[in-house]
Structure 1
Amino acid sequence: MKNVKNRFLVLLTLLFTGSSLASATKQPDRIFVKGVCTEITFYSPTTVRILKYPQNKTPLKESLVVLQKPEKVKLTRNKSENSYSIKSKEIDVTVDSNTGEIIFKDSKGNILLKDKNTQFSPRKDLNKDSYQVKQTFNLDTNEPIYGLGQIQNGKLNQRNQKELLRQRNTVICIPFFQSIKGYGVYLDNYSPTRFSDSPEETVFDSDLGTCSDYYFMYGKNTDGVVKAMRQLTGKVPMLPESGFGFWQSRERYVSQKQIVEILKKYRDLQVPIDGIIQDWRYWSNDNKHWNAVAFDNPEFSNPQKMISQIHDMNARLIISIWPSFGPTTDIYKELKSRNMLFDFETFPTNNGVRVYDAFNPEARDIYWRYFNKNMFSIGMDGWWLDATEPEYQDKNETHLDSACYLGSYRNYYNAFPLVSVEGVYKNQRKTSSDKRVFILTRSAFAGQQRTGAISWSGDIDGNWNALKAQIPAGLNFSMTGIPYWNCDIGGFTVRQYPGGNKNQAYQELYTRWTQFAAFLGMMRSHGTSTQREIFLFGERGSWAFDAQEKFIHLRYKLLPYIYSTAWDITRNDASLMRPLFADFAEDKHTHDLNTEFLFGKSILVAPVLDPQYTDGKGADVKIDFSRNKSIKVYLPSGCEWYDFWTNEKISGGKSVNKETPIDIMPIYIKAGSILPIGPKVQYAKEKKDAPLEIRIYPGKNATFTLYEDEGDNYNYEKGNYSTIDFKWDDSTSTLSIGQRNGNFNGMLKKRTFKVVLASTESGIGMEENNPQSKTINYNGKAVSVKL
């Protein structure tokens, strides 16, 4: 008994006697077992921090990721000879006094997760004493888990996988997973970490750390875990409305004349577009002048005129900027004079190009100063922050042993994209609140949702296997709490299709990829090897042009739904790209379904992921449309589904064959949904006064909140926005439209809603003329209509 007490000393801020005591506290409980101190701190009734470190080696740590502060949580403590338990109203954390094992249970006593052990192996960190930290958990044998970031292994469920969590092109690493059982675990460690899972154990093995520091969150379901992660690490700001339109890019536009002409071509063809992107070398073709953050290339001699011409066509421009600089640039010289550059060389090599130390707040301010002086001040609308891993060429990874502002680069490596992107976000917010921060970035880390950034999946190959891998990659990324993600339509590189955009096999792939991209956080065409503008795939009337244009138009018709979902993300911690099990966890068929996803809460998307009309080989590809092909689509149980293109109503819990001519991708709407459908437009804000279709898919009661604001400033944070609640009573076939809440500059006082009940005769696909619709002239007051 005496030995047990020596091994198991509990230090509490409140002394107590007896077997239990309820108290409200935000101070940690400290427990010593076998030379390891474990601190347990409840941040809320559903989130608890576990901090472990060798006894008498208390770490001094300030998180780069976690923003939440511990609340005062009512806790009940129970101490016995062999264990110590701390309970909130939602979770029970019990420590074994002999082994140090920690068991997490729900309020009913069901075991959620076991912390098996933590191992500290001494290691030097820039001549300082540190550790390699191995944190081991025990999961149920058949328990699916998800997350880890954007992983390109094609898997949705990450059980029985091994992954090196180290940022690199195409792979975004976040030491976080969530379980089908409704809990999540975030490991607050920024060093390269080896994740491995087997039926016996789940391990995070980190290169460096003074402690094991993780947060256990019990959200009860997928959305609840995402909400807890955002409460822990930061809320999501609104993106500009134009960011949800269609964006065109290529590697690269060689002059300001060319980029303006490309945009004008879209406008002349009346193909909708909201933005265009200027990739690299607008600074110079000399790599020693790499990334000057200035228009030093003579082909961009009047950038303000270029931006004005783009704005005059009702479009936006964002521009590529890297975190590395050539030695002849002014920004390099200034950063070097202040010792704010890493000492390793990066891409493009053999030119003296160096990465800036983004961990240094002063370096981040200098970085922004060049953005502001040369670009933001003349009207630039956003930033393509490329290579934010950052890019490196050292296969032996000796560059990780460099020093940075906070310590060793290895100790902080994975957090580089977070601090760099957040520096741009915070500095733009300080500079102006008139334009929302809009960032496209190649890498990310936990908490990056708070920066107004959209991540993309890097330089992936243009082939069918890469397309297939993007669905689970995007879903797992979204489940870490970061909602906005996209990929290069058609893949970045095009290696196996001679002739590129003229090759019909590539045209089929690109068209199917466009359909998929219409249901991502950003719809954006980009790549190298072959140009991607829609008119280069054929003229209007050709199948490739028409099928692509159809889905660009569909994207715009769904903008009221997408923008309102964006508000749900900002206000209520919702998600845009969601796994099917988020709503249908009881249906085990959804647990590892990596070919479909939910777009918001109402739309099921099943991309076509294999060639159907070409053989996919060679330069002399022939396309055969003589017979429609089909794919199998699984519809989850628990509700009925409407085929978006026909309004055929289908019971869930089974697979169906859906014909997929080249201009059709399977889309299903959940019964009990309300979709606001916008007008046909050329850009997001073109027809804000046009009638709005309110399409109802009956079968269950439904609700939807329509959100509107000024579209591109932060006045919404001051309450300048409006919401209108729609409620469908299925039993009485009645739609109730609530009183408008809120106001903003430019808000329409009166609106026209055309209410349509989806059936095989009305509200079908992209049809605009619905003879059975009922028109409501809405003036902001509550009204009901019976259908």
Structure 2
Amino acid sequence: MRLRFVLALLAGMLLLGEKAMSQYRFLGNLTGIDFQKDGALLRCGDDLVRLTLLAPDLARITLAPEGRWHSGPDYAIARAEWPGATFTVAENATHVMLKTTALEIRILRSPCRLAFYDAGGNLLNQDEEAFGLGWEGKEVAVFKSLLAGERFYGLGEKTGGLDRRGSEWQMWNSDIPAYSDRTDPLYQSHPFFIGMRAGRGYGIFFNNTHRSFFNMGAGNHRVYSFRAEGGALDYFFFAGNTMKDIIRRYSELVGRMPLPPKWALGYQQCRWSYFPESEVRQLARTFREKKIPADVIYLDIHHMDGYRCFTFDAQRFPDPARLLADLRQQGFRVVTISDPGIKVDPGYAVYESGLQGDHFIKFPDGQPYIGDVWPGPSHFTNYTKPASRAWWGDLHKDFLDKGIAGFWNDMNEPAVWGREAPLLVEFDENGRKVSIKKIHNVFGHLMAQATYEGLLRLRPQERPFILTRAGFAGTQRWAASWTGDNVASFEHLEVAIRMCQSMSLSSIPFVGADVGGFAETPTTELFVRWMQVGAFTPFFRTHTHINSPDQEPWSFGEWAEEVNRKYIELRYRLLPYTYTAFHQAAVEGVPIMRPLFLEFPEEAETYQGHNHTTYLWGNDMLVAPVTRAGERIRKVYLPAGTWYDFWENKTYAGGNYIYVDAPVEKLPLFVRAGAVLPMGEVLQYVEEKPLTQIDLHVYPGAERTSVLYEDDGRSFEYADGMMSLTSFKVTTKAKNVTFSLAGRQGKYAPPARDYRIILHGQSNAPKLASLDAGKVAAADLSFEAGAGTVTVRLRDDGKAHTLRFDF
């Protein structure tokens, strides 16, 4: 009986699927082709496909059903002008081929379908021959062949495993508190993914802001697809030798994270909510008394007067300017929350000026839309309108003048009670009315843009700091992100690690999760484990919900406080290394937090799901968190090469699994042989004092080059050359190690300081240590047998030096 029911159900589903598919139209035969300077226009009867070669490794494919092209702003695109590519054309009876130095596109004539090959003639990706590009009414879709062994990565803020194959994912920014490991969609939409097969890869960015779906082979082994409920069928195809190449090029298209203010790399403390003023002062005082480093305190919605944005509650915060000045004296910056809902309240200045300036979204009959959220009935800003973005940006002036250092954009999916705004709501897009169906996914993106541009106008010499919950492809140009309202559970700790890596692969490098979990209450073990992970997450903030127990570093007893202090201090000691990784992300697009397969794509084990809670921090550190309650031994896969245990005088051969002790107070950390880790002293906040000494931890065993990036940490002068780069090289031979320090490059001169070069992994003192061919003075040389280190002190004069150790 049950079997007959299942068979009948499956038959019905197949019939429904065939009926739905029969309603799609697909490209017919290629009836003509017009070659152009930057590519080709394909004619398939009345339907057109524009194939644009933006660069040798980058193509854009755009469909015009019945010759109708879509128009409008490309909200995600940062770079519109490209050099193009020289290409050759070859034709035969079945195909037309366009070939650059990096990519070959083969166009099947009957029916018109596209296939993409690398320069060596290896297939990367192809349209499914029966389907390809299709549309039904306003819906557009692309159907691709699902190739054997193909894996998919990216798609931004998604739960589940890093490999997206076998599931369908939706892009529709959604406020889902206390989500699970199977919840989809969430707060951000990133319609970009990377396909990998047999060591070769490609990327696809679907340039469409409407609700979209990515079926990456769910329920079948024949096709994968991406489709949208409206808008253009417009996608970019990236061919790269490595996954890093693809991410670099994608980040060039949608924009890269600008360097944040350096203080934003410090520890940040938040809860819903710290109030009144006396509680905030006590919080700051406790951090300093306990000598736990911290840079940022957040004020959630209870700082406002009746949840009115850009106001302070006069009873809870009677003199905010004085409070902020006092906190700044203690080394704290304050970040306030900003929700997009503007309270409908005659007499409230923001509401009145918004109405007067016509800055709110409306129904088609011209009535401003009202949605219920924290303040009650509220209007929402029309961020697609440049004048309205400028209005919103200027609203931040009073808070900046009072001393607020950054802004936290929340509830900007946009979230309203009942979850969704009516799809009737319209925006003004350059004088044209457009539906929220198009703008919903970029609402938070545009709010972040308006905030960033406003802060830049109001404080042009200071780097803005903005944190956003909602976002889209390219939001990294304006804001950092966090993964929303997570849960205090070990499952969510693991989810957070994977989600941050997925966001990083999608060019959102400045990302983190609420340490300890937002909803519910963490155990001591969980909080300590999560604090360890937070210290190795780009955005490092603790946050919890209203009426929850305290969730500060000292809230779980003296033992936990000591461990938490240790890892927060380590975060600050590693700032020279971490800030260099941030610079790499800003300049190259390579993320700070990296899956193992991004750095070691040739190793099959790095793609295994059980290794996706192990990741690289910058170029040379490997982090292997414990994500199971009660676990005290961690099985770790170390990629090829030699690896040093960060905590002990011990090395491991890579390409293997190892087992390491992992008591609750220990985060397994490893350093790649050949690396140089620049580390500073413990600071109570990032700008507490200039570093008078930088420790250069040298890990011999391979030949590698490392760098140290520096600037003032505040301004944009680095863009004009007011920065410095110092490179280090380690060369290891049988009986000697050579450490080379290149001369400092750039206009920025750091304050006077010393270097301590600390050579790891040594069982004996060197027979000879020479600096620039002269012997190192005995007073500047030391050996610690227990730690296995040799230390040499050297004045940093900005010049090149060579230090050689003979054993």
| TM-score normalised by length of structure 2 | 0.86
The Cα shift of 1:5 comes to 12
Report what 1:639 is aligned to. Answer: 641
Report what 1:543 is aligned to. Answer: 559
Deviations 1:32-88 (A, max 9, x none): 125421101111111111111213212224311113213132111223332222111
The Cα shift of 1:380 comes to 1.6
The Cα shift of 1:446 comes to 0.6
Question: Residues 488 and 518 of structure 2 are in contact (CA less than 8 Å); yes or no, is this contact kept in structure 1?
Answer: yes
Q: Within 1, Cα distance between the matches of 2:266 and 2:787?
A: 23
Q: Are 2:532 and 1:515 equivalent residues in the alignment?
A: yes
The Cα shift of 1:379 comes to 2.3
Q: Within 2, Cα distance between the matches of 1:693 and 1:767?
A: 18
Report what 1:737 is aligned to. Answer: 741
Matched residue type, 1:377: D
List 4+ stretches of structure 1 deviating above 6 A. Answer: 760-763, 766-771
Shift of the 85–401 alpha-carbon distance from structure 1 to 2, 3 Å rule, reads: farther
Report what 1:294 is aligned to. Answer: 311
Q: Within 2, Cα distance between the matches of 1:767 and 1:684?
A: 33
Which of 23, 32, 44 matches 1:9? 32
Report what 1:118 is aligned to. Answer: 133
Shift of the 391–767 alpha-carbon distance from structure 1 to 2, 3 Å rule, reads: farther
Question: Residues 250 and 525 of structure 1 are in contact (CA less than 8 Å); yes or no, is this contact kept in structure 2?
Answer: yes
Q: Are 2:163 and 1:142 equivalent residues in the alignment?
A: no
Q: Within 2, Cα distance between the matches of 1:269 and 1:398?
A: 46
The Cα shift of 1:413 comes to 1.7
The Cα shift of 1:205 comes to 1.9
Which of 386, 394, 419 matches 1:361? 386
Report what 1:19 is aligned to. Answer: none
Report what 1:388 is aligned to. Answer: 412
Matched residue type, 2:109: S
Secondary structure at the counterpart of residue 149 of structure 1: coil
Question: Residues 295 and 333 of structure 2 are in contact (CA less than 8 Å); yes or no, is this contact kept in structure 1?
Answer: yes
Q: Within 2, Cα distance between the matches of 1:39 and 1:606?
A: 46
Report what 2:725 is aligned to. Answer: 723
Which of 490, 507, 530 matches 2:549? 530
The Cα shift of 1:421 comes to 0.6
CA root-mean-square deviation: 2.2
After TM superposition, the structure 1 stretch with the greater mean CA deviation from structure 2, 131-140 or 543-552, is 131-140
Matched residue type, 2:105: V
Matches within 5 A, 1:520-599: 520-528=537-545, 529-538=548-557, 542-591=558-607, 592=609, 593-599=611-617
Secondary structure at the counterpart of residue 376 of structure 1: helix
Q: Within 2, Cα distance between the matches of 1:394 and 1:84?
A: 52
Question: Residues 585 and 591 of structure 2 are in contact (CA less than 8 Å); yes or no, is this contact kept in structure 1?
Answer: yes
Shift of the 418–768 alpha-carbon distance from structure 1 to 2, 3 Å rule, reads: farther
Matched residue type, 2:737: S
Matched residue type, 2:376: N
Matched residue type, 1:725: S
User: Can you give the 5+ residue segments of structure 1 that lack an aligned partner in the other structure?
Assistant: 14-24, 123-130, 495-499, 614-628
Shift of the 546–201 alpha-carbon distance from structure 1 to 2, 3 Å rule, reads: same
Report what 1:488 is aligned to. Answer: 514
Which of 168, 171, 182 matches 2:174? 168
Secondary structure at the counterpart of residue 238 of structure 2: strand
The Cα shift of 1:178 comes to 0.8
Report what 2:50 is aligned to. Answer: 39
The Cα shift of 1:253 comes to 0.9
Report what 2:755 is aligned to. Answer: 753
Q: Within 1, Cα distance between the matches of 2:74 and 2:760?
A: 50
Report what 1:676 is aligned to. Answer: 678
The Cα shift of 1:271 comes to 0.8
Which of 667, 677, 696 matches 1:665? 667
Deviations 1:519-570 (A, max 9, x none): 11121111112221122222xxx22111111110111111110011111122
Q: Within 2, Cα distance between the matches of 1:90 and 1:642?
A: 38
Q: Within 2, Cα distance between the matches of 1:332 and 1:781?
A: 58
Question: Residues 347 and 391 of structure 1 are in contact (CA less than 8 Å); yes or no, is this contact kept in structure 2?
Answer: no
The Cα shift of 1:260 comes to 2.2
Report what 2:8 is aligned to. Answer: none
Secondary structure at the counterpart of residue 739 of structure 2: strand
Give the total of aligned pairs.
Answer: 723
Deviations 1:705-729 (A, max 9, x none): 1111111111111211111111111
Deviations 1:307-341 (A, max 9, x none): 10111012211111011111123222322344432
Q: Within 1, Cα distance between the matches of 2:270 and 2:374?
A: 25
Question: Residues 751 and 777 of structure 1 are in contact (CA less than 8 Å); yes or no, is this contact kept in structure 2?
Answer: yes
Q: Within 2, Cα distance between the matches of 1:454 and 1:345?
A: 29
Matched residue type, 2:401: S
Which of 389, 402, 420 matches 1:378? 402
Q: Are 2:448 and 1:431 equivalent residues in the alignment?
A: no
Q: Within 1, Cα distance between the matches of 2:572 and 2:667?
A: 16
Question: Residues 281 and 297 of structure 1 are in contact (CA less than 8 Å); yes or no, is this contact kept in structure 2?
Answer: no
Report what 1:126 is aligned to. Answer: none
| TM-score normalised by length of structure 1 | 0.88
Matched residue type, 2:470: S
Q: Within 1, Cα distance between the matches of 2:594 and 2:318?
A: 44
The Cα shift of 1:388 comes to 2.2
Matches within 5 A, 1:141-220: 141-152=148-159, 154-169=160-175, 171=186, 172-180=188-196, 181-198=200-217, 199-209=221-231, 211-220=232-241
Deviations 1:618-641 (A, max 9, x none): xxxxxxxxxxx21211112x2121
The Cα shift of 1:462 comes to 1.0
Q: Within 1, Cα distance between the matches of 2:484 and 2:64?
A: 37
Shift of the 612–34 alpha-carbon distance from structure 1 to 2, 3 Å rule, reads: farther
Matched residue type, 2:796: Y
User: Can you give the 5+ residue segments of structure 2 that lack an aligned partner in the other structure?
Assistant: 1-26, 177-185, 363-368, 766-783
Report what 1:50 is aligned to. Answer: 61
Matched residue type, 1:554: L
After TM superposition, the structure 1 stretch with the greater mean CA deviation from structure 2, 397-406 or 336-345, is 336-345
Which of 328, 345, 354 matches 1:311? 328
Q: Within 1, Cα distance between the matches of 2:383 and 2:786?
A: 50
Q: Within 1, Cα distance between the matches of 2:374 and 2:668?
A: 45
Deviations 1:117-173 (A, max 9, x none): 122111xxxxxxxx1112222232321111111112x21100001122111236222
The Cα shift of 1:345 comes to 4.4
Shift of the 753–349 alpha-carbon distance from structure 1 to 2, 3 Å rule, reads: closer
Secondary structure at the counterpart of residue 260 of structure 2: coil
Q: Within 2, Cα distance between the matches of 1:773 and 1:350?
A: 60
Question: Residues 260 and 465 of structure 2 are in contact (CA less than 8 Å); yes or no, is this contact kept in structure 1?
Answer: yes
Matched residue type, 2:149: N
Matched residue type, 1:404: F
Shift of the 767–252 alpha-carbon distance from structure 1 to 2, 3 Å rule, reads: farther
Report what 1:606 is aligned to. Answer: 624
Question: Residues 696 and 757 of structure 1 are in contact (CA less than 8 Å); yes or no, is this contact kept in structure 2?
Answer: yes
Shift of the 239–658 alpha-carbon distance from structure 1 to 2, 3 Å rule, reads: same
Which of 283, 286, 298 matches 1:262? 283
Shift of the 410–5 alpha-carbon distance from structure 1 to 2, 3 Å rule, reads: closer
Report what 1:241 is aligned to. Answer: 262
Q: Within 1, Cα distance between the matches of 2:579 and 2:650?
A: 27
Question: Residues 193 and 207 of structure 1 are in contact (CA less than 8 Å); yes or no, is this contact kept in structure 2?
Answer: yes
Q: Are 2:94 and 1:82 equivalent residues in the alignment?
A: yes
Q: Within 1, Cα distance between the matches of 2:497 and 2:648?
A: 25
Matched residue type, 2:47: V
